[in-house]
Chains A and B, each alone.
Chain A
Amino acid sequence: MSTLPDGDHGAGPVPARRLRVAVWKFASCDGCQLQLLDAVGRWPALLGRIEFVQFLEASSRVEPGPYDVGIVEGSVSTPQDVVRIREVRRQCRFLLTIGACATSGGIQALRNWGRVEDFVAAVYASPDTIEALATSTGIAEHVPVDFELRGCPVDTAQLADVLVALATGRTPRVPSTSVCAECKAAGVVCVAVTRGIPCLGPVTQAGCGALCPAHGRECFGCFGPAEATNLPALSAHYEATGTPRGRLLPLVRGICGWAPAFRAEAERLADAPGEPAP
């Protein structure tokens, strides 16, 4: 239970002091903060390396900055967020953003293609008391970010690895390959090749362990685009094998739809809509 995820039994060089970590939430579902709590539950030895000096979801403790590491969950979606994220950056030596919301605007970035006034009016009877920006965007669009950990939610083991890496001064072990590579390594039968299901595995960052294909379904890109992708070629392949463009567009314009590679492809598909979805 107390062994750290990289096999470190805590016997390595004892840090002079624990990293002072602060956690902030912006627009999000809290799922990535929950993964952080689960990481501590799985590897209590983490608390020998780091201490949470501000983590409002889990603790009433609030210590003033500066902090060694700031962890941010959630996207920037209100005028206040824009101001707050600059203050957070100013307080943190190292800024780690976690999850689809913080790294690409999240599912709530689907508003970015509409008029925010319409979105407010659709949900609220008195829109004037609601303050929302026209867009929901990732943290790096506003302030410099030192490390982005992807996923909706982030993977608990990857998150623990990044924290241990920061505490011990090594590089985080986060792969830059695609879900497709993880899928092959796991020996999962390809849903795209064998069943003609359009799958984003070839263009999606690894880290989930090819969870969706292992459940017999398509990857829907919740870890965002992989480092090197060719989305137009993938779309062309799926279209040539019978998937209508109207089916591809919502797949690409999904949980990480505002990530640059997915966004560009969604806009290309939307400009030439082709036949509608069945």
Chain B
Amino acid sequence: MSDDGAGSVRGIRTIAVGALSRVEGEGALRVRVVDGRAEIVEFNIYEPPRFFEKFLVGRPLAEVPDLVARICGICPVAYQLTACRALEKALVVEPDPAVAPLRRLLYCGEWIQSHALHVHLLHLPDFLGYESGFAMAADHPALVEAGFRMKALGNRVMEVVGGRAVHPVNVAVGGFHRWPEAAAVRGLVPDLERGLGDALELVSRVADLPFPTLAPEAEEVALAHPDEYPILEGRIASSAGLVADVDDFRAHFAERQVPWSTALHCLREPGGTPYRVGALARVNLCRDRLPPRAARAAAAAGLGRPERNPFRSIVARAVEIAAACEEGMALAAAWDRGTRGPCAALPARAGAGAHATEAPRGLLWHRYAFDAAGRIEAAAIVPPTSQNQARIEADLRAGLPEALAMDDAGATLRCEQLVRSYDPCISCATHFLTVRIDRP
């Protein structure tokens, strides 16, 4: 937290945080309180715009997975695989049947490392009263070691399948560049089993943390799939009863620009209302499809029915680390290379296609159009953080009365903690945070 200072400016009390820490990327939060009411809550995402959707235009479609990976170093697989599926659907290409389970395993690896990083290094320090995971390690060495162990496990899965944990090189439109060694994939099983043990312990540990009370009404959105916990495939479903094909995303959601942010706000249409995506939304909407041990842990941790307290997303993330390890074990144990070759041939044809997957931080939607020479003509990317941004602002408004009863340092920390509950990935907010509270 870089503190821009607290004080009174022209009768309006000011609490300000210049740059929010322990989030991926850069942003600020501004709260202005006049006569005891919160007037403005704005996320100021000042992450410099990087214009991915524009510079993709004219590039060969086969390059897209390598390029969009660079949107986010923490969830590159989400970007790569959403793009691959959108492009494959548009090309009417069906990868070898061994590709889908390998992609799901790769994605499980990303969930494990991303959630382990957020839970241990970014979010837990708020609950246990430390400035960082490094500082927390002095008093809680086993906890931080387990965190790094789970992070390393996720990385390992990504390295075996994808070649590298940050920006994997093995992902291709049509499948993979090379089949991994089946023995190396099966070799992940014992590590994943230990990871499952670590994750189940983590679920019970975080379930008992002291949580601030907050339970705003919020629409939640996630992919839903009849047979599996949603990662790579499914229809878009919401707690308000929406069920839509990924192709129809634009009919139900719209991005709007706000002057205080370089990230676009994505809202539910019609009406322009905020909604929540991410681990908590997924567990709430799809807990009946969690694998059995993760499901039992979720129920024991109190997530057996819809959880309305956004601060408890840390429990949902721990449950999902367990789920990803449990599923990963089954996927790795059963996987063998395909018979048709790792990468399907791509036909020369013009086309357009959309797809959505569940990135660690929530629903991620892509759409591409390309010409007959395979050059990208248009690209649209809606990352999870731009979808959560309006919901975070709404939760902050709901949580402000309790926060503002505290002194300035306490109020600021509470607001930051709430923002971090969403694991906002500001770099991902392609098109994000500093906390500033103005009050009399």
Contact = CB atoms under 8 A, between A and B. Distances in A.
A47 to B, nearest CB: 7
B144 to A, nearest CB: 9
Contacts of A247: 60
B54 A56 contact: no
A65 to B, nearest CB: 13
Interface residues of A, number: 66
A216 B177 contact: yes
Contacts of A214: 163
A245 B257 CA distance: 39
A108 interface: yes
- Counting chain A CB atoms within 10 Å of each CB, the highest count among B19, B72, B73 belongs to B73
B48 A26 contact: yes
Contacts of B60: 247, 250, 277
B194 to A, nearest CB: 15
A107 B67 contact: yes
Contacts of A106: 70
A214 B180 CA distance: 11
A29 B49 contact: no
Contact of A108 (B20, B51, B151): B51
A276 interface: yes
Interface stretch (A89-97, A115-123, A168-176, A199-207): A115-123
Interface residues of B, number: 66
Contacts, number: 185
B132 A28 contact: no
A37 B152 CA distance: 11
Interface in B119-160: 121-122, 125, 131-135, 148, 151-152, 155
Contact of A77 (B19, B48, B117, B348): B48
Contacts of A216: 177-178
Given A38-B165, A126-B257, A59 B70 contact: no
B163 A215 contact: yes
B323 interface: no
Nearest to B3: A62
Contacts of B375: 277
Contacts of B72: 29-31
A110 to B, nearest CB: 4
Contact of B132 (A59, A107, A124): A59
Contacts of A35: 73, 166
B167 interface: yes
A220 B125 CA distance: 39
A35 B167 CA distance: 11
Contacts of A70: none
B70 A152 contact: yes
Nearest to A152: B167
B73 A31 contact: yes
A255 interface: yes
**Which of A52, A124, A277 has the largest count of B CB atoms less than 10 A from its CB?**
A124
A194 interface: no
B369 to A, nearest CB: 14
Interface string A152-184: 110000000000000000000000000000000
A83 interface: no
Given A124-B257, A125-B257, A61 B135 contact: yes
A27 interface: yes
B37 interface: no
A61 B21 CA distance: 9
B70 A255 contact: yes
Given A30-B25, A41-B152, A220-B66, A132 B49 contact: yes
Interface in A40-78: 40-42, 44, 47, 52, 55-62, 77-78
B55 A111 contact: yes
Contact of B26 (A25, A136, A222, A255): A25
B167 A59 contact: no
A62 to B, nearest CB: 5
Contacts of B26: 25, 56
Contacts of A38: 151-152, 155, 165
A92 to B, nearest CB: 17
A145 interface: no
A250 B376 CA distance: 12
Contacts of A123: 49, 51, 53-54, 431
A59 B178 contact: no
A62 B166 contact: no
Contacts of B257: 124-126, 129
Nearest to A29: B73
A81 B131 contact: no
B48 A57 contact: no
A215 B166 contact: no
Interface in B201-250: none
B170 interface: yes
Interface in B8-45: 19-26
A120 B49 contact: yes
Given A25-B26, A37-B117, A217 B48 contact: no
A217 B54 contact: no
A78 to B, nearest CB: 5
A231 interface: no
B188 interface: no
Contact of B166 (A27, A34, A119): A34
B71 interface: yes
Interface of A: 25-35, 37-38, 40-42, 44, 47, 52, 55-62, 77-78, 81, 106-108, 110-111, 114, 118-120, 122-126, 129-130, 132, 136, 152-153, 208, 211-212, 214-217, 220, 222, 247, 250, 254-255, 276-278
User: What 6 pairs across the A-B complex have the smallest Cβ distances?
Assistant: A31-B73, A59-B132, A110-B55, A41-B148, A27-B48, A122-B54
9 contacts: A25-B26, A29-B73, A31-B166, A37-B121, A52-B134, A56-B22, A60-B132, A77-B49, A153-B167
Given A29-B72, A60-B125, A125-B257, 19 more contacts: A29-B427, A30-B425, A35-B166, A37-B117, A38-B151, A41-B148, A59-B22, A61-B131, A77-B48, A77-B49, A107-B52, A111-B54, A111-B55, A119-B54, A122-B53, A122-B57, A130-B49, A130-B262, A132-B49
